[in-house]
């Protein structure tokens, strides 16, 4: 009999404790974010999808060597007039990217030719869409229809208004504009 009442007491105690938590939160301000109509602000160093600027890239291939996932590839040819390498194409396979920022860190150009944006809503439904392809002489974004989504945040180099941040950062200002 004693065991029975002890069990009833334990259950009632657990119930009251749980309801106490509910009551406490009933009077706290709501923290629900009505996504996608409302969005939280992201930290400055948030690593979203990569953007690339073929106009700035010097084809040094440091990002290719630094990438641990082997998802960056490029081709360039030597320009005998300028004695520099001209970029032919540059690809990132987002299916392999782990958003580690190593490519951005090693990129020697100022502003960075490859850098993370704050884009976190990309989704892919086709394998071909994972591979983004940039060519200096082709209007961006190139590739599949899906590539058009990239128009939202793919800067077009200086023409698209890459600005150095006023705080002196060498990273181009985030071209994402929602």
Q: Write out the binding residues for ligand SF4, residues 50-69 only, by CB under 6 A.
A: 50, 57-63, 66-67, 69
Burial class (CB in 10 A: 0-12, 13-18, 19+), 96: middle
Q: Does 122 bind ligand SF4 (CB under 6 A)?
A: no
Q: Does 132 bind ligand SF4 (CB under 6 A)?
A: no
Q: Does 133 bind ligand SF4 (CB under 6 A)?
A: no
Strand runs (DSSP E) across 12-100, as ranges? 50-52, 72-79, 84-93
Residues that contact ligand SF4, how many (by CB under 6 A)? 27
Cis (ω within 30 of 0) for the bond into 141?
Answer: yes
Kindly state the smallest distance separating residue 88's Cβ from ligand SF4, in Å.
12
Tokens at 73, concatenated: 């590839």
The set of residues, in sequence order, having a beta carbon less than 8 Å from that of 146 and lying 6+ positions away, is 124, 125, 126, 129
Q: Please identify which residue in the block is written with the tokens 């690593």.
A: 47
**Which C-beta is closer to ligand SF4: that of 85 or that of 152?**
85
Kindly state the smallest distance separating residue 38's Cβ from ligand SF4, in Å.
28
Binding site for ligand SF4 (CB under 6 A): 50, 57-63, 66-67, 69, 71-72, 74, 92, 97-103, 106-107, 109, 113-114
């Amino acid at each position: 009999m004693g065991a029975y009442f002890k069990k009833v007491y334990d259950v009632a105690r657990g119930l009251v404790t749980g309801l106490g938590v509910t009551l406490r939160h009933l009077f706290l301000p709501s923290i629900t974010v009505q996504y996608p109509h409302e969005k939280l602000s992201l930290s400055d160093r948030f690593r979203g999808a990569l953007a690339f600027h073929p106009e700035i890239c010097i084809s040094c291939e440091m990002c290719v060597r630094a990438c641990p996932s082997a998802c960056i590839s490029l081709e360039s040819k030597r320009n005998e007039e300028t004695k520099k390498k001209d970029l032919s194409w540059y690809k990132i396979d987002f299916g392999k990217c782990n958003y580690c920022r190593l490519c951005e860190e090693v990129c020697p150009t100022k502003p960075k030719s490859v850098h993370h944006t704050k884009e976190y809503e990309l989704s892919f439904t086709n394998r071909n869409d994972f591979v983004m392809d940039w060519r200096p002489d082709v209007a961006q974004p190139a590739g599949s229809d899906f590539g058009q989504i990239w128009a939202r945040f793919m800067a077009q180099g200086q023409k698209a208004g890459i600005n150095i941040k006023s705080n002196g950062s060498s990273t181009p200002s985030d071209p994402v504009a929602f």
